[in-house]
Amino acid sequence: METQRAIRARRMIRQFDPDRPVDPQALHRILTLALRAPSAGFSQGWDFVLLTAAQDREAFWSAATDSDVPDSWLRGVMSAPALVVCCSDKAAYLERYAQPDKGWTDQDDERWPVPYWDIDVGMAALIMLLVAVDEDLGALFFGAHVPTHAAVKNALAIPVDRTIVGIVALGYPQEKKASGSVRVRRRRPTEEVVHHGRFGMPYDPVQPPAKASE
């Protein structure tokens, strides 16, 4: 499938067929291609914990949920036969940029305008979502509630210095309807989002940017 088609076909799936496991080779392709994501300084400060065995997924959900009675959204996501817990490693970036070719020897995280260690993991997760489309799978990126992060790390033996950026659920979709958010909110059009030349200037895909008024 062409990249543009995969982008247009991608949807967040919230209910999966629990009786259809994902082909291990498909998971391997998804994870391997995710590692092609860009990372600042080629730091590659990411780790991905793949959960396919029932007991491993149960360990995650037991740690990640703070309710004994899951709602319909959670029940649907819990049906996913594969989960990928996406973690960032901030220290890998600070150490990389303290090397001679970068030269930030103090490893001061205040130098970073935004946490690229988290952004890069998000880019890798997006690649997983797109490759899932190519594999005829459904996928969802979601976050674990912050108060549960310590319990999730403990349950999955994730080092305490890693940050759980989010989780990718994978499986065969049981539903393809648009989410409630999509039904009540429109997709912002390109001309509303893109500013040409400077903020507030109208975007025209066929014309050069107009000069701002003096």
- For residues 9, 13, 18 and 21, what is the CA-based torsion angle, rounded to 10 degrees? 40
Quick one: pLDDT at residue 214?
A: 45
Cα–Cα distance measured from residue 158 to residue 109, given in angstroms and rounded to the nearest whole number: 22
pLDDT, position 170 = 98
Give me the pLDDT at residue 179, please: 56
Secondary structure (3-state) at 159: coil
Per-residue pLDDT, 168: 98
* 3-state secondary structure at position 140: strand
pLDDT at 4: 86
Residue 61 C-alpha from the chain's centroid: 18
Alpha helices, DSSP H, located in the chain: 3-9, 24-34, 54-64, 72-78, 90-96, 116-134, 149-156, 180-184, 190-193
pLDDT averages per 10-residue partition of the chain, 214 residues: 82 93 97 98 97 98 85 92 98 95 89 96 98 96 96 98 98 73 76 92 78 54
Output Rg (C-alpha) for the chain, integer angstroms: 20
Pick from 205, 80, 194: nearest CA to 142:
80
Q: Which residues pair with residue 173 across a beta bridge?
A: 16
| Sheet strand arrangement including 46-51 | 46-51, 82-88, 163-171, 138-142
- The pLDDT assigned to 154 comes to 98
| Amino acid, single-letter form, for residue 139 | A
